[in-house]
Chains A and B, each alone.
Chain A
Amino acid sequence: MTQPAVVFEEISKFYGEVLGVNRVTLNIPPGITSLVGPNGSGKTTLMNLMTGLIFPDHGRILMRGISPRDPEALMRMTGYATQYDTAPRWATGFTFITTGLLLFGYGRSEAEERAWKALERLSLTDAANRKVAAYSKGMRQRVRLAQAIAHDPELLVLDEPLNGLDPLVRAETIDMFRAWAAEGKHVIISSHVLQEVDLISDQVVLIANGMIVAEGKIRKVRDEIEEHPSQYIVRCRESDASGVAALLFGEDHITEIKLNDDRMGMLVMTRDREQFARALGRIALDGHRIESVVPADENVDALYEYLIGGER
């Protein structure tokens, strides 16, 4: 028997004229999966699609074999901690979770017991009987997490779950994720900081502008980005492009050079940004007049720079 997976087939979602996500195809096995991308890249859209809060315009989604259009079956095994920072005005942390559990068909005493257990796991028992609306941001984050896990789901979709947690709770939460993943559950989390999820994820999905940029095991994604040739447009003065090109060809990290017809510019592909930068420096010192160097392929590059916080 194959592993139950979260499957997206050619999913597109438009908000009116605006593109949400475009032709996303995914196959996520159990374990911890991180959706990583800048704000507005479509992470929440993907999560809302997974849980049936919104429906795709094209394509098919199966969550462990169940369509998100069947909430009765899907939500029984799924917990979704949204980023919507709202709670009903009447709700205390305890009643909020208990009420949700009643809808699963649990009796009141079992619902209360499970609610209490979930609050305990997120160290919220002290605040259990206070109004959620009066909670701090981190506490509201935790109460949403508690609600998502209270019915012991097999598939957890958690939108920025580590946001606003203090280091201790954060470490505990990550341990929890690992424990669930070890049980064969899906733990799908989102983040806009790659480092945050780097170490804990079994696989990573990099997303930008509604498209999947890279996907797979975390090591593979790193390599993919590093090996992905970067493209630069180099412009020189006084038709010196061919001279510069000749020098650049000598470098072994350069994979390809295309000279422009005006002999003043060229498109350079390199496997190593740093060596390329050093080489340009040497060439300039030799007296060649390089006017500008502009990255031509901003997508992956910029995204990566952004995600790792400009470390490299």
Chain B
Amino acid sequence: MTPRSVQGRAGQAWTIAKIELRRVFFARRSFWVYGLALLPSVIFLGHGIDAKTDIERLGRRGLTAPALMDSIREGESLDDVKKRVGQPAAERWSVRSRRVRQRTGNAGTTTHPIEPPVGARFVRLNITRPSFNGEPVARIYEFEVYGPDGRANLALHRPATGSIPCGQDQGPEKAVNGSVTGGQADRWCAADWPLFLQVDLGAVRPVQRFVVKHASAGGENEDSDTREFNIQVSENGKTFTTVGSSTGGGYVDERTEVRQIAYFDGRRRADLVFIDGRVQHRNVRRLLDFEEDRAIFAGIFQYFYLRLAIFFGCLGIFMYLFRGEMSNRTLHFWFLAPARRDVLLAGKYAAGLIASAVIFGGGALLTFAAMIWPHDAVEVQAYWNAGGMGHAFWYAAAAALGCVGYGSVFLAIGLYLRNPIIPAAVLLTWESVNGIFPHVLQKMSILYYLQSLCPVPAPMDSDTPTLIRLLAAPAAPASRPGAMLGLLLLTAFVLWVAGLAVRRMQISYGAET
């Protein structure tokens, strides 16, 4: 093996790769890379186990005929459903209780009759809890007092006093001016404790009915209505008697019975939600839906695996190859080897590539297997005959080629820049917004080629906003050979740029610290 021959250099690069491989695979920092690579397979495995135990558990409780299960309609009562369809495979119920506000009623107006009528010159409204929302401000738009004949408002335009008002135009006289429609300037408002409003009727008169118009009568929020108050009368203005009190409408508990029952026909599960004994909501779904799972796989693969897992995994593996050795002060060992710098680059890149391709290609295949595993053998066989093997291959190939592309980029970045955070953020942004750029610029993105290699387009809900749709989907996917060629050319270019840097690289550990 002559060292200066092409084979000699290739052999040297391979030796370097072998030395580095062990470190890339077993370095402690690689463990989170494994985590990223294996996460989707864990998710699918969990989903499979979950569905299988569900099927097992529901099946043991008895199966329902599919037609019968489909016949349940919304609005049916619990008893009817049970009588017709039979005992459910699962049932649970709960009482949902919540405190709701009892409405003041009648547009913020409360009426308080007393029997028999009493004689009074002074009438006082004492407010003990001024609002429902906790605000300590009393707001009364009108306070009316009626005698036994019930016609005339005895308080109208009578002298009124009360707690210090919130503002000059919100004095007690506004509560006896006969109007509620003038907005906030048409109310009595006070926050000064004790909160009271007193009207002088001029002489002792028989009174029998009081009407209080609260905040919502004047157009404010119901929560500002008076919550608790009482009414007192007096003949001399000194001794008062309480003639009526009101909690103004408090809170009550509203109780709703919620019952969830499930029927199972062997493949599908029908979930019924009964509110107060009637079917409010029904949802029939397959516990294991192969087609749906494949779409979810396509989504996870494109949105998580290609965009994030492989991206950051390659960052971790390839940035370290040179930059990490620089900060560990071990790079000079490589530079003192009788090898050209580009041979060293090739060897290190090969090590990173083999490791990342095995980890992420393997991770993709493992996830694919975990996705397929719980499904019906017949369905899987049919999928296999219809090109499923090809799908698996292209997913693994896209993952491996992702490592080819992102690996070269991060290797180059590691040679030029010290801190990976900013270039990684810039690159991630570039890769994700690339879809909205002109076609020429799209070709400068790794993701563009990888998306074109995926066998199934990633699912996208029809209500996805246009912007996100643009970001997520390649405008004009390339053909597979074109995508691979494009990716390899892009990688070759990036590696060439990295080669320029590594040839110029000098050991300067001092500046690293």
Contacts and interface: CB of A to CB of B under 8 A. Distances in A.
Interface of A: 15, 48, 51-55, 71-76, 80, 82, 84, 86-88, 90, 99-100, 102-105
Contacts of B506: 53-55
B329 interface: yes
Q: 6 smallest A-B Cβ distances: which pairs?
A: A75-B338, A103-B337, A86-B329, A76-B338, A53-B507, A54-B506
Contacts of B329: 84, 86
A105 B337 contact: no
Contacts of A86: 328-330
Given A86-B328, A88-B330, A103-B12, 15 more contacts: A15-B508, A52-B335, A53-B332, A53-B336, A53-B506, A53-B507, A71-B341, A88-B333, A90-B23, A100-B333, A103-B16, A103-B19, A103-B337, A103-B339, A105-B15
- Which among B11, B15, B337, B338 has the greatest number of chain A C-beta atoms within 10 A? B338
B509 interface: yes
A105 B11 contact: yes
5 contacts: A54-B508, A71-B337, A72-B3, A75-B338, A105-B8
A108 to B, nearest CB: 10
A167 to B, nearest CB: 29
Given A71-B341, A90-B23, A99-B19, A48 B507 contact: yes
A104 B3 CA distance: 8
Contacts of B504: 55
A254 to B, nearest CB: 46
Interface in B1-53: 1, 3-4, 8, 11-12, 15-16, 19, 22-23
B340 interface: yes
B338 A103 contact: yes
A199 B23 CA distance: 45
Contacts of A72: 3-4, 338-340, 343
- Which among B3, B22, B504 has the greatest number of chain A C-beta atoms within 10 A? B3
A305 to B, nearest CB: 28
Contacts of A53: 332, 335-336, 506-507
Given A54-B508, A55-B506, A105 B335 contact: no
A204 B339 CA distance: 31
B327 to A, nearest CB: 11
Nearest to A54: B506
A82 B3 CA distance: 25
Nearest to A82: B332
Contacts of A88: 23, 328, 330, 333
Contacts of A102: 15, 19
A99 B20 CA distance: 11
A100 B337 contact: yes
Contacts of A84: 329, 332, 509
A71 B340 contact: yes
Contacts of A71: 335-341
Nearest to B329: A86
Contacts of B12: 103, 105
Nearest to A79: B336
- Which among A55, A71, A100 has the greatest number of chain B C-beta atoms within 10 A? A71
Interface string B219-255: 0000000000000000000000000000000000000
Contacts of A103: 12, 15-16, 19, 337-339
A236 B333 CA distance: 59
Contacts of A105: 1, 3, 8, 11-12, 15
Nearest to B23: A90
A149 B11 CA distance: 23
A54 B339 CA distance: 16
Nearest to B9: A72
A251 B340 CA distance: 63
Contacts of A76: 3, 338
Nearest to A89: B328
Interface string B304-339: 000000000000000000000000111011011111
A75 B336 contact: yes
A168 to B, nearest CB: 28
Contacts of A104: 337-338
A76 B330 CA distance: 19
Nearest to A103: B337
Contacts of A90: 22-23
B507 A75 contact: no
A53 B335 CA distance: 7
A102 B329 CA distance: 21
Contacts of B339: 71-72, 75, 103
B305 to A, nearest CB: 30
B330 A87 contact: yes
B313 to A, nearest CB: 22
Contacts of B4: 72
Contacts of A74: 338
A80 B507 CA distance: 14
A53 B333 CA distance: 10
